[in-house]
Structure 1
Amino acid sequence: MHVAITGADLLTCHGGIDSTFAALAKGVDGSQNLRFYDTDRINVTRGYHVEDSTDAESEPPLRAGRWLARCVLGAVRQAGVDPAAERVSVIVGTGLRELRAMERWALDGIPVRRRDLHFTTAVREVLPEVTEVITVSNACSASGHALALAQDLLAAGEADAVVAAGCDAMSESMLTMIGRVADAPTPALRPFQEGRAGVLLGEGAVAVVLRRAADAGPGALATVLATGLSCDAHHETAPDVDGIVAAMRDAHRRAEVTPHDIGLVLAHGTGTALNDPTESAALDAVFAGAVPGPLVTGIKGAIGHTSGSAALMSLLVAAWAMRSGSVPATAGLAEPIEAAGGLRLVIGDPAPCDARVAQVNAFGFGGVNAVSVIGVDR
């Protein structure tokens, strides 16, 4: 069953939805020197911080929940949804929840109420009458899984509207992990770039309001045709071509489209040694024979790897690109890797686009993959 996106909001290192789209169109790299951490010890010096305090050195508590609440409320208001009069569920995809709050409790003695570690508290502070708040933790494809669950709830008639959302804040644990696999601090996240040095973390939140397409009325931002999932369990961290291909083909089958129908791909594009060639190989396999093939771009060079938010952030960019007729270039990409030689990567300047159907890729540790197909009317 198709579902319509009737409201949306996001928050990234560039700010809200309009300023983020403007920065993407200009190819602005939003990374900056890390705050709050001992960068020499963790071997990471840069990241994509959300500016949420007038004091750059102050780290507010429970940041992920604050951003989530802002975006959920913004999306619901835009959609004109009334949780007091309708059954409205909220499904949040996250990689880390409020892990940073736990770190600060353990390391700095700053206590946190346990109930605040679940996003129910944050969401109900701004929307107390929602039917339920569900949190799923599916690594870097988490908000893609939240989207799939939202579609299922609507198809089953269990809700009148569903808010699918994602949020994550940087944590010392996650930063330390990416620092351990690098010989030197990564200076920039450069998806599909020859000589790329690795991933950098971003942070933020995103939310979309979904209704059954038949009930949505005019003015939808986009239609979610389907989401395909796979969990290949190939390796703890290394992606698997077959698992990714399975998710893509599952999405196409559910959406009742062929590779020829898809004019744009928002790639996962993490700038890591393994993801980029693996994703390139999967795209080559799925789109073989689809000439000239879809335009391919990625947004992590501009906003960082936003973990649980990544899937839905890419989805909104795909919708915006198709509606505006302009696809932002992949920030940080100048010389593609050989494995991506068969892809129509958008490099340097935005590319004109008349696509009506787009594919959005999101892959997580353990082979937890989510691929969505969306369409727009222009």
Structure 2
Amino acid sequence: MFERRLLLRDRGTGVLEKLWLIPWSFVLLLCAVAAVGYVALYSAGGGAPEPYAGRHALRFGFGLVMMLSIALVDIRLIARLSWAGYAAGVALLVLVALHGQVGKGAQRWIELGPIQLQPSELMKIMLVLALAHWFHRASWERVGNPIFLLPPVAAVLLPVGLILKQPNLGTGLITLMIGGAVFWAAGVRWWKFAILIAAAAIVAPIAYEHLHDYQRARINTFLDPESDPLGAGYNIIQSKIALGSGGIWGKGFLQGTQGHLNFLPEKQTDFIFTMLAEEFGLVGAAGTLALLALVVFFALAVALRCRHQYGRLVAIGLGVNYFMYVFVNIAMVTGSIPVGGVPLPLISHGGSAMLTSMLGFGLLISVHVHRDAEFGAARE
């Protein structure tokens, strides 16, 4: 097998050979996660495929074709297009700021024909690619040079600033953390992170005073949800009731009272995990978390097995992106962090999250397929 991979690396890999190298067990894992989403959305729709589950299946089918197509693209071509993709992502964020649709007090979406796109989700993927390209052939000494770090720092802060302006505090902070993860994986010294964290702690009280009223309300509700049980605290209180009422084995499929009696808010998007936990209990919730964890572990395994720095950084960045989706959503519905609009990937209803998730998985599989690609020596 090793000799076969060396031969493929030297002479170039054909389409059929690349299909052979695709990790089909991972593709089946993604299908299993999407199937969990279909079941949950079927229940959220009142025991019918419409309006959520049917669209979810169609989006996943389209995303599956897109993912496999991207997986066959040479990772070196993707690397050459990294900054072009980043520029397109920034342009879409600017377009949102100028002509984006306003919903629930935020300007985050644009209409592209029949598709409603949230560019901030796509920007996280493009940022990972751009940062990976910047660092992929940089020597240890060069990574330690503060001047060398100024352009990638600016590349992170520009989209984060545009996302915060929408306003979208949660996605902005997640984008910042994803950028930080790529910096750390590239070898940026830990003391630089310590300085930034200390500075953020000093600025945090000042930043709190400049948050929008609803953002401050979310933080205050997180600290004391019972202070406004019928207003800002309603969502998290109902979520906790639903989580607890599921018990060990759950109330049964289509039998969840909090969800089907409409006590549970946004049950098809942000709080879909709560609905799963109520109907399938601790066992079902733990099984869902196990599937999601396997996706993250696959990304880490790809990073460990990749022979080039670009692929390693892309795999780590995409793995952190997926982990942040899952962590923030689960922590949100359990009351561990303030409530924010972060979906559960491949499970929640939503086109932008599905599209960007499948795009990321396609890039991740491309890294796996082309893990032995030659990129050249490190830059001094």
Q: TM-score, normalised by structure 1?
A: 0.26
More helix by share: 2
More strand by share: 1
Q: TM-score, normalised by structure 2?
A: 0.26
Which structure: larger Rg? 2
